[in-house]
């Protein structure tokens, strides 16, 4: 049996359509669009593309969006100054500082300076803490997107066994917490996990967030499992691939995300969702 494909591109389009419609209602109600400010320090090629796409996608959704491009030589103090200005600006609802930052700038320092109510990446410790305690938070976009993909393919998470491979603060840990909040029984696996294939084979829902090309194969997939592949890797011939060996895993899974066209497009769609949410919360609590 071959798995059904979870079409992240189509679902992301649907999310963006919903956001666009809600932005129009927001403008009609509150007289201004939600505002997203994206900050890029330096010329990292991937970051240049990502930030341009974020700015463009926000504009397409009817938001006000602005890209602040700073030189590689920007000091930590200068960057913190800009973040504080954006914190104080009432027309700014979302602030995103693109990572990675140049080595001379402490990422933690910058992320912790962003006003948590404008932290649309969901990386501030306050938002992580709120997520952990099951309270309303701004949730990191990639795991949020994965949850929407699971919902769209009708996965029943209540009581399901979920295994998340990877324990980063931006993907693995928040993903595990979101699954737990939906009543899954969750295991987090990582580089020290013993007998990873056996752990993964227990999963009704398997989420791969490792960063190693095609590391999880048929041996890691329980028949009928739903497989979400967060990984973005390049093979030796320059092609994009995930952490899951798609061709092998799809013969055992019931549903599976492709790479590209799975989780990737959801991340930016969920950034739009978070920006609108941040704007709604700020303006309605003011």
- Pairing outcome for strands 161-165 and 94-97: unpaired
- Pairing outcome for strands 240-241 and 233-234: antiparallel
Measured between alpha carbons, how far is 284 from 286 in angstroms, rounded to an integer? 6
Annotation marks residue 54 as catalytic: yes
- Pairing outcome for strands 64-70 and 94-97: unpaired
Annotation marks residue 21 as catalytic: no
Q: Indicate which residue of 7, 37, 93, 121 is catalytic.
A: 121
Member of 23, 111, 177, 209 binding ligand NDP (CB under 6 A): 209
Binding characters for ligand NDP, 264-283, by CB under 6 A (x = yes):
x--x----------------
Choose the binding region for ligand NDP from 43-51, 125-133, 203-211, 246-254 (rule: CB under 6 A).
Answer: 203-211
Told to check if 233 binds ligand NDP by CB under 6 A, we report yes
- Show contacts with ligand NDP in window 24-43 (CB under 6 A): none
Member of 93, 231, 244, 274 binding ligand NDP (CB under 6 A): 231
Told to check if 258 binds ligand NDP by CB under 6 A, we report no
Q: Indicate which residue of 54, 173, 214, 250 is catalytic.
A: 54
Q: For the purposes of burial, counting CB atoms within 10 Å of the CB of 227, is it exposed (0-12), middle (13-18) or buried (19 or more)?
A: buried
Annotation marks residue 93 as catalytic: no
Measured between alpha carbons, how far is 145 from 48 in angstroms, rounded to an integer? 22
Closer residue to ligand NDP in complex, CB, 204/229: 229
Closer residue to ligand NDP in complex, CB, 78/219: 219
- Show contacts with ligand NDP in window 165-194 (CB under 6 A): 165-168, 170-172, 189-193
Active site positions, annotated: 54, 98, 121
Q: Which positions lie near ligand NDP, rule CB under 6 A?
A: 142, 165-168, 170-172, 189-193, 196, 209-212, 230-233, 263-264, 267
């Amino acid at each position: 049996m071959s798995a059904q494909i979870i079409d992240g591109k189509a679902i992301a389009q649907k999310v963006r359509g919903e956001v666009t419609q809600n932005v129009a209602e927001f403008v009609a109600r509150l007289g201004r669009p939600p505002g997203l400010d994206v900050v890029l320090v330096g010329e990292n090629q991937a970051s240049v593309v990502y930030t341009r796409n974020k700015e463009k996608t926000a504009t397409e959704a009817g938001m006000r969006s602005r890209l602040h491009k700073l030189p590689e030589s920007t000091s930590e103090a200068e960057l913190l100054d800009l973040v504080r200005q954006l914190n104080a600006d009432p027309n700014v609802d979302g602030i995103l500082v693109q990572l990675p930052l140049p080595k001379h700038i402490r990422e933690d320092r910058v992320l912790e300076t962003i006003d948590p109510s404008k932290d649309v990446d969901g990386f501030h410790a306050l938002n992580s803490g709120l997520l952990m305690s099951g309270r309303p938070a701004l949730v990191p976009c990639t795991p949020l997107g994965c949850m929407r993909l699971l919902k769209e393919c009708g996965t029943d998470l209540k009581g399901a066994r979920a295994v998340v491979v990877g324990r980063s603060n931006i993907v693995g840990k928040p993903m595990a917490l979101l699954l737990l909040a939906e009543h899954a029984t969750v295991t987090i696996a990582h580089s020290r996990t013993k007998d990873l294939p056996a752990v993964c084979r227990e999963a009704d829902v398997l989420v791969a967030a490792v960063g190693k090309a095609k590391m999880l194969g048929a041996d890691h997939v329980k028949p009928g499992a739903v497989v979400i592949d967060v990984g973005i890797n390049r093979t030796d011939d320059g092609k994009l691939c995930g952490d899951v060996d798609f061709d092998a895993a799809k013969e055992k899974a019931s549903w599976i995300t492709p790479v590209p066209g799975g989780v990737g497009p959801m991340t930016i769609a969920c950034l739009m969702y978070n920006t609108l949410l941040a704007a709604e919360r700020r303006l309605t609590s003011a």
